[in-house]
């Protein structure tokens, strides 16, 4: 149906043929502008939609005829000329087509036809034959890849559920043609380029040319793409006669690259035969493939390429694509090397790399970075995208002409991992697009020990890419020239259309999963075949020698030359005594940012005040409560919210949203870019933020007041994301990696949703610096709190984050009082806070940028506190000289007679307000002190000690609203005990242990709340307990 609609639409005259580029640019311009209006790409008004003979099959043919007719009415058969002229003249449905006049009689409806073009003789047979040829051409274009010779082992059993492919000289009957037609000459439809400069060909030749284009070493999957221009572009890239011809120079370069790729693995195998390296054997053409993409992209103006890849062939890519010094790679095999940098490091096939060099083919500078990644396959995909986006953003590359990404995948992982799909779905979103990624799949037809037939339900491992209309080029990796050709086309595709594209290198895995693995246990027949398989280098060298492109001697010299390079590097590597993980950094921060001193240390170890002047607070408050553009009508409810904000500014107080505004606004004014991303962040899940205002009268007209703070401010990006956590958090982490001078925040819709991004948290955010010596200041905003909303939406699982802190609970840190806070921060793997006031939230966000290093920050953010009348902060708490408070001591009546205080209740977050209300109700303001631990990790041992010393006669209680096996208790208890040197026990007031985070019953929720409040204020509750 869709095709028919499209065809029908296109049966309207077009003023000028639009190029694909101009179409996609128009779309991007529309989405990138302030209005963010998505222009409809097509309109559907043609009267010919009701033509009785237009159906799904013939519509394609008609479409082609129409285009040809537009260009030259004489290029189509007279009957079509008449039809199109009549259709354009507005003929009613059914009348544009003129059948031959009945014998001896006047045609019905003659009066109607008077204004139309004269009637023609019967053309049915002619149309039928041409339709047949058209169908045949189309069959090759759609399904030629089913019979292309893609598998070097020739054992592939790709399961195509549909009917067998009806192509070839022997199957013309299927189309209503017969053998006698093979030598008839047919006019070629305009949707094929097999004719070259000829517009007609004999059927036999048509078939042979289609076989050459679609059924050799390349299988092209593209006919699902909804854009005619893009389809035409691909057709001409693969159908034009003579496209697969290479110069002598190109062939020799290709051979040299194959030599490097192959001999590198052989060298490693010779020297370290018992080491795991996840070699590339069986897919050696990956190296020339990547190099071709890089050469071509550099030719098209790309200056920086960010790559992500799994284990397979990674060392080879580092050596021969990124050009990491070989001795640096070889010394990684020496287990006795001492690490020079702090951190625990990572295995060699996970480390990243950054390198700027001259591209020999284009003579231009190019920066290549391979991102470090965890074992978790595909997890790095969104991270690469985020970093690419950030680099594009910082250099003003709005179309991705200068910075691009390449992602490599294994066949099993590409099909199996959901994050691949999530990443594809970011690829065309305005705030997440990187303007096209080139995906290269090392499709060795196996995943560890598992066959594709039990590993995926799709025919190809690449089917997931169809979701974004990315063309897929399958290629037999044993045909290096075909590989080079598709890689060139892929790079051109990206440069032309700025859309994703996939190169599927169909290959095999010569060894087991790693070099120690026995593949015959599980794939005996496949491996019998592999053992017989001649190496691709040998095959290609023999081909070139036979062609006379190189001599055997030249080939052998090339091998000897590279072997010598490896040997020399190996000798040098033995001199390496120290392993510098820093040399494997994938994202060094730009020198101009000057964030660190030359030796990589922070410039100072002090955190300046994070407060602002009264004037700044007033100004940002004003922006937050106004609409800074003319003639913009906002919703009445929002007017009230803004008025409320203005009133707060008048009274010098902030609620949560205004506190956040103050932090963002001031950082932007000071030149720090801010990017806030996540589901519904623009308005805020709880309708408190409203950073994007919507004109109530003009569709999609928006205003972002935060971008109106000051003339030279940094830009503010706030973007509702796709409904993904894994993909989007990974993306933001990558964005934050690119520069220390940006506050990048990801907000979960509710805190518990972060667990679908657990891999990014566990594998990147928590241990990133320890594994890969790279700092990252990403902020996670996780709405958290027990509000009686049921087991979901309540807990952001603080216990999990706290459990992963690298701090020793049993050791009181030995830092001087002045440096205590900042040293703790410097040493930690991440910072975890649960702020109880807007002012403290404001300070911790500003501290994130003003502190002299970068650490991830996890913020448990409130829900009910967003509108709680007591959860407001006075401007006084945000003025110059004020700081983030790691602990907020009790400042009430207990301070007057601390000796008389019987209990000190430590808590964090929202429960504080429940505790103070209960204390007041019970008249215990003099006997129970309440201290808020705002920064949970690093634990403020020093400030907790001040509190425990202040109330020497008080027992210590930890109170939390979460269940006992959740929340903070297990984390806080040993630390509190360390603080008091185990002189006083730590008691617990909170919900009992439970499997679910909260009850689904509101009444039960309230009973539980009252019960633990009773415990917290019952001074005898713990009597008799040891």
Binding to Mg ion, residues 420-449 (CB under 5 A): 444, 446-447
- Tell the smallest beta-carbon distance from residue 513 to ligand TPP (Å): 6
Supply the minimum distance, in Å, between the C-beta of residue 509 and ligand TPP.
Answer: 6
Quote the DSSP letter at residue 221: E
- Which residues inside 499-538 make contact with ligand TPP, applying CB under 6 A? 509, 513
When the beta carbons of 375 and 803 are compared against Mg ion, the nearer one is: 375
914 binds Mg ion (CB under 5 A): no
Q: What, of Mg ion, ligand TPP, none, does residue 858 touch, CB below 5 to 8 Å by kind?
A: none
- Across the strands, what pairs with 409? 441
Under 8 Å CB-to-CB from 643, ≥6 apart: which residues? Answer: 625
Do β-strands 742-747 and 903-907 pair in parallel, antiparallel, or remain unpaired? Answer: unpaired
x-or-dash pattern for ligand TPP, window 436-465, by CB under 6 A? Answer: ------x-x-xxx-----------------
Which residue of 48, 194, 322, 412 would you call a contact of ligand TPP, by CB under 6 A? 412
- Residue 975 interacting partner from Mg ion, ligand TPP, none (CB closer than 5 to 8 Å by kind): none
Ramachandran category for residue 730: left, alpha or beta (phi over 0 → left; psi -120 to 50 → alpha): alpha
Choose the binding region for ligand TPP from 94-102, 407-415, 518-526, 762-770 (rule: CB under 6 A): 407-415
Q: CA-CA distance, 169 to 178, in Å (whole number)?
A: 10
Binding site partner of 878, from ligand TPP, Mg ion, none, Cβ cut-off 5-8 A by kind: none
Q: Is residue 411 a contact point for ligand TPP (CB under 6 A)?
A: yes
* DSSP-derived 3-state class of residue 743: strand
Find residue 703's DSSP bridge partners.
693
Query: Torsions phi, psi of 661, nearest 5?
Result: -60, -45
**Near ligand TPP by CB under 6 A, which window of 105-113, 356-364, 404-412, 682-690?**
404-412
Q: How far is the CB of 321 from ligand TPP (least distance, A)?
A: 17
CB of 443 to ligand TPP, least distance (A): 8
The β-bridge relationship of strands 716-720 and 673-678 is parallel
| Per-residue x/- track, 15-54, ligand TPP (CB under 6 A) | ----------------------------------------
Euclidean distance between CA atoms 274 and 269, whole angstroms: 8
SS3 label, residue 788: coil
- Spatial CA neighbour of 610 closest among 819, 413, 839: 839
Q: Would you call 702 helix, strand, or coil by DSSP? A: strand
In the bound complex, what is the minimum distance in angstroms from residue 447's beta carbon to ligand TPP?
Answer: 3
Exposure letters 874-884 (e unless 16+ CB within 10 A, then b): ebebbbeebbb
382: which DSSP letter?
Answer: H
Which residues, 293 to 312, sit near ligand TPP by CB under 6 A?
Answer: 312
Among 353, 347, 389, 386, smallest CA distance to 371 is for: 353
Report the C-alpha gap between 761 and 384 in whole angstroms. Answer: 16
Stretch that binds ligand TPP, among 248-256, 371-379, 534-542, 967-975 (CB under 6 A): 371-379
To the nearest whole angstrom, how small is the minimum distance from the Cβ of residue 448 to ligand TPP? Answer: 4
Q: How far is the CB of 678 from ligand TPP (least distance, A)?
A: 24
Helix, strand or coil, per DSSP, at residue 764: helix
As measured in angstroms, the least distance from the Cβ of 772 to ligand TPP is: 17
Give, in degrees to the nearest 5, the angle at Cα 256 between 561 and 297.
130
> Least separation, in Å, of the C-beta of 310 and Mg ion?
9
In the complex with ligand TPP, the residue whose CB is nearer, 758 or 1015, is: 758
Distance separating alpha carbons of residues 644 and 533, to the nearest angstrom: 76
Contact (CB, 8 A) for 844 and 667? no
Of these partners, Mg ion, ligand TPP, none, which one is at the site of residue 375 (CB under 5 to 8 Å by kind)?
ligand TPP
How many Cβ atoms from other residues are within 10 Å of residue 226's Cβ? 11
Residue from 229, 174, 233, 254 nearest 207 by CA: 174
Q: Which of Mg ion, ligand TPP, none has residue 377 at its interface (CB below 5 to 8 Å by kind)? A: ligand TPP
Site residues for Mg ion, 444-483, by CB under 5 A, read: 444, 446-447
Peptide bond into 61 cis (omega under 30): no
CB of 377 to ligand TPP, least distance (A): 4
668 binds, among Mg ion, ligand TPP, none (CB under 5 to 8 A by kind): none
Instruction: Kindly compute the dihedral angle of the four CA atoms of residues 654, 657, 658, 662, in this order, to the nearest 10 degrees.
Output: 120
Binding partner of residue 663 among ligand TPP, Mg ion, none, CB under 5 to 8 Å per kind? Answer: none
With CB under 5 A as the contact rule, which of the stretches 390-398, 402-410, 981-989, 1004-1012 interacts with Mg ion? 402-410
Give the nearest distance from C-beta 1002 to ligand TPP in angstroms: 39
Interface positions, 807-826, toward Mg ion (CB under 5 A): none
410 lines the binding site for ligand TPP (CB under 6 A): yes
Contacts of residue 392, defined as CB under 8 A and 6 or more positions apart, other chains included, come to 398, 400, 402, 403, 434, 435
Closest residue (Cβ) to ligand TPP? 410
Residue-by-residue DSSP string for 118-174:
PP----HHHHHHHHHHHHHHHHHHHHHHHHS---TTS-------SPPP--SGGGGGG
Task: Name the one range near Mg ion by CB under 5 A: 88-96, 409-417, 765-773, 962-970.
Answer: 409-417
Least Å distance, CB 412 to ligand TPP, is 3
Considering only 406-414, 473-481, 781-789, 992-1000, which stretch makes contact with ligand TPP by CB under 6 A?
406-414
What radius of gyration do the chain's Cα atoms show?
34
Residue of 78, 271, 376, 543 that binds ligand TPP (CB under 6 A)? 376
Q: Are 489 and 293 in contact (CB under 8 A)?
A: no
Q: Does 411 bind Mg ion (CB under 5 A)?
A: yes
Q: Which two tokens stand for residue 851?
A: 């502190």
Q: Which stretch binds ligand TPP (CB under 6 A): 142-150, 231-239, 370-378, 925-933?
A: 370-378
Does 316 participate in binding Mg ion (rule CB under 5 A)?
no
Q: Which of residues 309-338 bind ligand TPP (CB under 6 A)?
A: 312
In what helix (H) or strand (E) does residue 225 lie, and over which residues does it extend?
Answer: none
Exposure b/e, 243-279, CB count within 10 A at least 16 = b: bbeeeeebbbbbbbbbbbbbbbbbbbeeeeeeeebbb
Integer Cα distance of 825 and 594 in angstroms: 20
- Minimum distance from residue 629 beta carbon to Mg ion (Å): 54
| Pick from 725, 845, 714, 848: nearest CA to 775 | 848
Taking the complex as a whole, the smallest distance from the CB of residue 224 to ligand TPP amounts, in Å, to 24
Of the two residues 410 and 768, which places its CB atom closer to Mg ion in the complex? 410
- Tell me which of ligand TPP, Mg ion, none is bound by residue 483, counting a contact when its beta carbon lies within the kind-specific cut-off of 5 to 8 angstroms: none
Residue 372 or 412: the one with the smaller Cβ distance to ligand TPP is: 412
Q: Give the strand pairing for 955-963 and 903-907.
A: parallel
Minimum distance of Mg ion from residue 484's CB (angstroms): 22
Question: From ligand TPP, Mg ion, none, which one binds at residue 312 (CB under 5 to 8 Å depending on kind)?
Answer: ligand TPP
Please, what is the minimum distance in Å from the beta carbon of residue 283 to ligand TPP? 8
Q: Which is nearer to ligand TPP, 414 or 820 (CB)?
A: 414
Alpha-carbon span 69 to 236, nearest angstrom? 20
Nearer to ligand TPP, 13 or 418 (CB): 418
Query: How far is residue 979's CA from residue 811's CA, in Å, rounded to a whole number?
Result: 9
- Check residue 84 and report its DSSP letter: H
Q: Which is nearer to ligand TPP, 442 or 544 (CB)?
A: 442
Tell me if 410 contacts Mg ion by CB under 5 A.
yes
Binding site for Mg ion (CB under 5 A): 410-412, 444, 446-447
Binding site for ligand TPP (CB under 6 A): 312, 375-377, 410-413, 442, 444, 446-448, 509, 513
């Amino acid at each position: 149906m869709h095709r028919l609609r499209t065809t029908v639409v296109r049966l309207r005259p077009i003023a000028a043929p639009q190029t694909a580029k101009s179409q996609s640019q128009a779309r991007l311009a529309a989405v990138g502008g302030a209005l963010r209006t998505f222009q409809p790409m097509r309109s559907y008004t043609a009267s010919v939609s009701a033509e009785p003979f237009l159906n799904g099959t013939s519509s394609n043919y008609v479409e082609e005829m129409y285009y040809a007719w537009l260009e030259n009415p004489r290029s189509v058969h007279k009957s079509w000329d008449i039809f199109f002229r009549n259709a354009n003249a507005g003929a009613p449905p059914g009348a544009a087509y003129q059948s031959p006049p009945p014998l001896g009689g006047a045609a019905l409806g003659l009066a109607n036809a008077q204004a139309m073009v004269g009637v023609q003789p019967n053309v049915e047979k002619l149309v039928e034959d041409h339709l047949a040829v058209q169908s045949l051409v189309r069959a090759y274009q759609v399904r030629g890849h089913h019979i292309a010779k893609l598998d070097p082992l020739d054992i592939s059993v790709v399961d195509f559920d549909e009917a067998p492919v009806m192509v070839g000289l022997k199957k013309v009957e299927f189309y209503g043609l017969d053998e006698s037609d093979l030598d008839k000459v047919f006019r070629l439809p305009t949707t094929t380029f097999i004719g070259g400069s000829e517009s007609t060909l004999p059927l036999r030749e048509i078939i042979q040319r289609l076989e050459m284009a679609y059924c050799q070493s390349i299988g092209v999957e593209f006919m699902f793409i909804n854009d005619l221009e893009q389809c035409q572009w691909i057709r001409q890239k693969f159908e034009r006669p003579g496209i697969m011809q290479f110069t002598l120079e190109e062939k020799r370069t290709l051979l040299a690259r194959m030599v490097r790729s192959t001999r590198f693995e052989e060298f490693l195998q010779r020297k370290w035969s018992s080491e795991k390296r996840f070699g590339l054997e069986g897919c050696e053409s990956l190296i020339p493939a990547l190099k071709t993409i890089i050469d071509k992209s550099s030719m098209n103006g790309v200056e920086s390429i960010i790559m992500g890849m799994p284990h397979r062939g990674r060392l080879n890519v580092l050596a021969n694509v990124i050009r990491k010094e070989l001795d640096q790679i070889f010394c990684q095999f020496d287990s006795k090397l001492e690490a020079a940098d702090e951190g625990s490091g990572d295995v060699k096939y996970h480390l990243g790399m950054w390198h700027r060099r001259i591209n020999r083919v284009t003579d231009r500078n190019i920066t290549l970075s391979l991102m470090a990644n965890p074992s978790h396959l595909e997890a790095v995909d969104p991270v690469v995208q985020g970093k690419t986006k950030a680099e594009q953003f910082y250099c003003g590359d709005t179309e991705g002409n200068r910075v691009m990404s390449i992602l490599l995948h294994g066949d099993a992982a590409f099909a199996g991992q959901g994050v691949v799909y999530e990443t594809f779905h970011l690829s065309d979103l305005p705030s997440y697009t990187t303007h096209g990624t080139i995906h290269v799949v090392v499709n060795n037809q196996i995943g560890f020990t598992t066959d594709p037939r039990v590993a995926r339900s799709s025919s190809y491992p690449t089917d997931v890419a169809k979701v974004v209309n990315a063309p897929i080029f399958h290629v037999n990796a044993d045909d290096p020239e075909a590989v080079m050709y598709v890689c060139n086309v892929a790079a051109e595709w990206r440069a032309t259309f700025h859309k994703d594209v996939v190169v599927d290198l169909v290959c095999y895995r010569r060894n087991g999963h790693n070099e120690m693995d026995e593949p015959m246990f599980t794939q005996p027949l496949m491996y019998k075949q592999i053992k017989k398989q001649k190496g691709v280098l040998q095959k290609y060298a023999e081909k070139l020698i036979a062609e006379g492109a190189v001599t055997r001697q030249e080939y052998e010299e090339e091998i000897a030359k590279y072997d010598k390079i490896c040997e020399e590097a190996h000798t040098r590597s033995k001199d390496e005594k120290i392993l510098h993980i820093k040399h494997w950094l994938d994202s060094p921060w730009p020198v101009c940012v000057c964030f660190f001193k030359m030796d990589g240390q922070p410039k100072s170890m002090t955190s300046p005040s994070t407060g602002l002047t009264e004037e700044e607070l007033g100004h940002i408050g004003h922006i937050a409560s106004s609409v800074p553009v003319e003639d913009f009508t906002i919703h009445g409810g929002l007017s009230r919210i803004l008025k409320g904000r203005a009133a707060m500014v008048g009274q010098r107080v902030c609620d949560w949203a205004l506190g956040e505004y103050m932090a963002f606004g001031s950082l932007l004014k000071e030149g720090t870019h801010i990017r806030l991303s996540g589901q519904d962040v623009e308005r805020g899940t709880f309708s408190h933020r409203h950073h994007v205002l919507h004109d109530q009268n003009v569709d999609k007209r928006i205003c972002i007041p935060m971008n109106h703070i000051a003339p030279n401010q940094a830009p503010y990006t706030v973007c509702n994301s796709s409904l993904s956590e894994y993909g989007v958090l990974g993306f933001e982490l990558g964005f934050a990696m690119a520069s220390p001078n940006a506050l990048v925040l990801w907000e979960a819709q509710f805190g518990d949703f972060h667990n679908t991004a657990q891999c990014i948290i566990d594998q990147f955010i928590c241990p990133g610096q320890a594994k890969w010596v790279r700092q990252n200041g990403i902020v996670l905003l996780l709405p958290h709190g027990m509000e009686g909303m049921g087991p979901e939406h309540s807990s952001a699982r603080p216990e999990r984050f706290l459990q992963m802190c690298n701090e020793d609970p049993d050791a009181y840190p030995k830092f001087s009082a002045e440096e205590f806070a900042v040293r703790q921060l410097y040493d930690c793997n991440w910072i975890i806070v649960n702020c109880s006031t807007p002012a403290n939230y404001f300070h911790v966000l500003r501290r994130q940028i003003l502190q002299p290093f970068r650490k991830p920050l996890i913020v448990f953010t409130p829900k009910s506190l967003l509108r709680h009348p007591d959860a407001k902060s006075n401007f006084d708490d945000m003025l110059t000289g004020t700081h983030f408070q790691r602990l907020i001591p009790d400042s009430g009546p207990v301070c007057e007679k601390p000796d008389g205080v019987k209990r000190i209740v430590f808590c964090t977050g929202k429960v504080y307000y429940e505790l103070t209300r209960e204390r007041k109700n019970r008249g215990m303001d003099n006997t129970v002190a309440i201290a808020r631990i705002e920064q949970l990790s690093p634990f403020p041992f020093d400030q907790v000690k001040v509190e425990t010393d202040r109330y020497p006669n008080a027992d210590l209680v930890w109170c939390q609203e979460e269940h006992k096996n959740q929340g903070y208790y297990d984390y806080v208890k040993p630390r509190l005990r360390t603080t008091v040197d185990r002189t006083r026990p730590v008691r617990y007031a909170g919900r009992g242990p439970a499997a679910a985070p909260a009850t689904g019953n509101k009444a039960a929720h309230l009973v539980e709340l009252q019960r633990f409040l009773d415990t917290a204020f019952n001074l005898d509750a713990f009597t008799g307990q040891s």
